Each structure stands twice: as C-alpha cells, then as structure tokens.
Structure 1
Amino acid sequence: MAMITITSAIPDIHEKRGRYYTAETYLLPSDDAEKARLNGQHEAVKPFSDGLIPAGLVLKAGDAVLDAGTGSGIWLLDIANRVAEGVSFTGMDIEGRLFPKPLPNMKFLVGSTFDLPHDLDSTFTLVHQRLMVAAFSVDGWRKAISGFYRVLKPGGYIKLEEIDFLCILPGPVAVPPLTSKFCEGSKVLCAKRDVGADTLLNITALLEEAGFEMVDETRRAIHLGGQVNHARDAFIGAWRSMKGPFVQSRVIDGAHTDMEYDDFLDQIEQEWRTTDFARTWCNWTARKP
C-alpha cells in the first residue's frame, strides 16, 4: 500500500505548561516524556491484556495489522517481534510526534480513526486500540468501531483495551477518598468534552451494533500498592501529564494551580502505595463474520 497522509479532522497542537496537547478531547500530551511513559506503561499492563494477539488468531504471511491511536508504536513494535515474516503493520494516530522509526514491514500514518480511508477497506486481519475511553464520545466510539469493521477482512479480529479511568466499575476494594475526588473531577471534565461517564459500559453493545460477533470480554484488577509497582508509576504518570487540562478547567477543588495539582497527585500516589486499591483493566475481543 502507498503511504497515506490524512489531514482532515486533525486539530492544531496546543502547548500548555511546556507540554504538547494535540486535541482538546484528549487529555494526555504528545512529547518525549509521554513517549517514555507510554513505553513503560505497555510493559506494565501487558500481563493484564490477555495476550497481544487474540487466542483464536494466528497471523501469517500476507496478513496486516492496524494499531489505531498507536502513540509511540510500542504495541506494534512488540507484536512485530512475535509473528511470522510477511505480516505487515500500520500504526495510525492524529499526532506523529511519538512515532518510532518503523521496521521494514511497518508504516505510521497521521490521521483520524474517525476517517479511515476507503483504500484500507477489507485490508486488516487484526485491529487493535487501547486507552481511548476518556477521548471519545459515544458517537465517536460508534464511528470508530464502524470504521474498524469496514477495514477488517471477513473473519478478522478487533481487540480493544481500556482502563476504568472514571471509577465507574465495581472493584475488589473501595475507591479511596483522594482517588474518588480525582475521578469525580474527571467526570466533570469529560462531560465538558462530550465524553460520558458510562462510555465504558457501552462498548460491547457498540461492537455488536456494528456487526461484530463477541469472542471474549474480561476485566482484570491491577493492584497499585507496595513500594515498587510499575503499573502505579505508569498510571500516576498519566494523571500527572493531564495537569494542563485539569488546572485550566479547575474541576478539582484545591488543585487549581500547577503547585496544588502536583501536591494533590503526590497525595494520590501515596494513597495508592499504602492501600490495596486496584484499577480495572478491560479487554474486548470480537470478530467480523
């Protein structure tokens, strides 16, 4: 396939407090610090992802894989080392700052998953996306999933991974108070950006609505306590990286300045370290008939 560069529906880059934020609806920045955090996060969450490739799928020469919202491309780089030669890989994101140097069988496209080009119709054997629950409205999810269905071959698989960012799912232990305060502020901020608090609960229905057959849906508890915890480091790093949007929106009482927000996140990190709090990681696998 020829390289495709998509320019429609890509917002301007915004600089806030020395961090680069690509889209108003996406809370995380796009810069070198975020690239390093994403790479570490990939290793931390991999044990909870039910494998990089769906259990019923064996990728072979001629197959193609799409990673939507690829970020630093770390998921693609990892999977490329685990499959047969002759598989091709495409990563897509609205921001190209984080893209790595591609392997010979790999390409990265700047573009929106809401506007997948028709040149890609019925191209991919596997489509993967993760951690967009706080970025897409329900209508956005519907549009993205419909596009994923279109670009998959018949019999192809979709694998989605999300975290319970807004603390709406019942967990193994109660949400501690400071974390709960952050989650409530996050709900307000997401609502301002047309991201509903119940989006996580709708993904299965949206997959089925698009025509997918559900294969598997799992939830895994990621415990964040203890002195050394790489998942905690990745997740608290994500929340720290959201300082620009949170301080600007003033949705958390007592965290209206940079210093107040940093102090609040220090307290949350200590809360996670000293309690048995766990965040819920969700996996969906579905198949196009």
Structure 2
Amino acid sequence: MESENTPSEFKFHDGRRYHNVENAVYPMPNDENEQDRLHFQHFLMRYLMQNNFSAPINHILTTPGAKILDVGCGAGSWSFDMATTYPNIEIYGLDISPLQLTNTKPKKFTFIKANVLEGIPFEDSTFDFIYQRFLSYAYTKDEWSSAINELVRVLKPGGFLELMEPSPSLFDLGPIAKRIWDAQSSLVIQRGVDLEVYQRLEEYLQNQGLFRKY
C-alpha cells in the first residue's frame, strides 16, 4: 500500500513544497524542513507528556497483532516511535501527503496515503487504538463531525480514540511573532478552520453516544 511519488502530488511556493490535494485546507508544507519541525515537535511532546499517549491502552500494547492507526501521521515520528517501542503491534500511519522516509521504516509499520474525509480504506471495526494529534488546521469546522464519524467507523468496539488539539492562546509574544501568528490565524480562518475546536472535541464524541471519557 506504499505510494510512489509523482510530480502531481506536490506543488511549490516560495521554495517550499506542499501537498496538492484538491479541497484540502491543510496549509503547512511537507518538505524536509517541515519534517524536521514535526520530528522536533514529537519529541518535545513526548518529553512534556512523559509518554506517547494518555489513553489506558497498556493491555492493547502487549497484545500481539493489535492494530493502531496514526491519523495525519506527517513525518511518521509518533508511528515510528510506537512501532519501535512496541514491536508486537501493527502500526498504520495515514496522511494526505506521501511519507518521505528519512530513516529505516520499522518492520510493522505501514503507510497509507488517504484522506479521512474521502474514507479510510479499512473495514469497520479494524483498529484497537486510533491516535490523532494537531490536525486543527486539516479540517474545516463543518468537516470535523464527518472526520470523527469515519474514525469511529474503523475503531473496534471497546477500542480507544485519542484526540489532541491545542488552544490557540499564546502568551508573551513579541511584535514580530504576533504579526506572524495573526497572519497565520487569519489565513486558516478564511479557509474555514475552527481554531477553537479543542473546546468542542468532547461534544463531538458525546454526539456519537458510544464513548466513555478517561
């Protein structure tokens, strides 16, 4: 299920490379500089959380053949880390952009090039744990319910879904950083992105009527 890169998969602007997926609102690049940023972000988050997840899934991680889906896997940092730490589980990373490998792929990692909003290419009730982090820029406000519906579809009964999105509140910004942040926020809001989605995730899950909060 690996994908070969073709020129039409990318577009370039001001020396940066971006995805070329029609109607996808995600604005960030997918070049080597962005991969470096995503790797740094992953290890920073792991240090701050002292773990790669917060869901109570230790029983899943010790079950041979358990399946985990990393939605919006980006550079593959979280997936690779999990696949290396827990070699008995199967990790699937999904993203709209092809994965640009910069190191050896773990044995039980599989990359899937797909758009959640067009359907995750797996049968119902496939995954024991689904992890999605920092995709507030990837969906419009109107798309979040559909995205979560699709995640729920491929999650096993009794499985765990972990969503993590940031608050847009930043503190002690200097004048240059504030101008950059204001411009970036204005851009994504024009695209229909909901910067306050972190406040609505629980509501979206409660609307499913299938989840207990941990």
Amino acid at match of 2:185: K
Map 1:20-169 → 2, pairs under 5 A: 20-22=17-19, 23=21, 25-49=25-49, 51-58=51-58, 59=61, 60-83=63-86, 85=88, 87-99=89-101, 101-117=104-120, 119-164=122-167, 166-167=168-169
Question: What value does the CA root-mean-square deviation take over the aligned residues?
Answer: 2.4
Displacement of 1:177 after TM fit? 5.2
Unaligned runs of 5+ in 2: none
Displacement of 1:50 after TM fit? 6.1
Distance 1:200 1:186, change over 3 A: farther
Displacement of 1:162 after TM fit? 2.2
Distance 1:131 1:99, change over 3 A: farther
Determine the C-alpha separation between the residues in 1 that align with 2:140 and 2:210.
20
Displacement of 1:136 after TM fit? 1.3
1:195 is matched with which residue?
193
Displacement of 1:44 after TM fit? 1.1
Determine the C-alpha separation between the residues in 2 that align with 1:99 and 1:112.
19
Distance 1:154 1:95, change over 3 A: same
Determine the C-alpha separation between the residues in 1 that align with 2:146 and 2:205.
11
Conserved? CA contact 2:164–2:198, under 8 Å = no
Distance 1:184 1:88, change over 3 A: same
Identity within the alignment, %: 26
Larger Rg: 1
Determine the C-alpha separation between the residues in 2 that align with 1:147 and 1:44.
29
3-state DSSP of counterpart to 1:81: helix
1:13 is matched with which residue?
10
Encode CA deviations 1:214-261: one digit per residue, 9 max, x unaligned.
Answer: 434xxxxxxxxxxxxxxxxxxxxxxxxxxxxxxxxxxxxxxxxxxxxx
Conserved? CA contact 1:49–1:161, under 8 Å = no
* Deviation >4 Å, runs of 4+: none
1:213 is matched with which residue?
211
Displacement of 1:66 after TM fit? 0.4
Q: How many pairs were matched up?
A: 202
Amino acid at match of 2:90: S
TM-score by length of 2: 0.82
Distance 1:209 1:175, change over 3 A: farther
Determine the C-alpha separation between the residues in 1 that align with 2:122 and 2:13.
36
Determine the C-alpha separation between the residues in 2 that align with 1:48 and 1:212.
30
Unaligned runs of 5+ in 1: 6-10, 217-289
Determine the C-alpha separation between the residues in 2 that align with 1:188 and 1:33.
23
Distance 1:181 1:44, change over 3 A: same
Determine the C-alpha separation between the residues in 2 that align with 1:18 and 1:74.
24
Encode CA deviations 1:100-133: one digit per residue, 9 max, x unaligned.
Answer: 5432211101111223346332110111111111
Conserved? CA contact 2:74–2:95, under 8 Å = yes
Conserved? CA contact 2:18–2:29, under 8 Å = yes
TM-score by length of 1: 0.63
Conserved? CA contact 1:137–1:199, under 8 Å = no
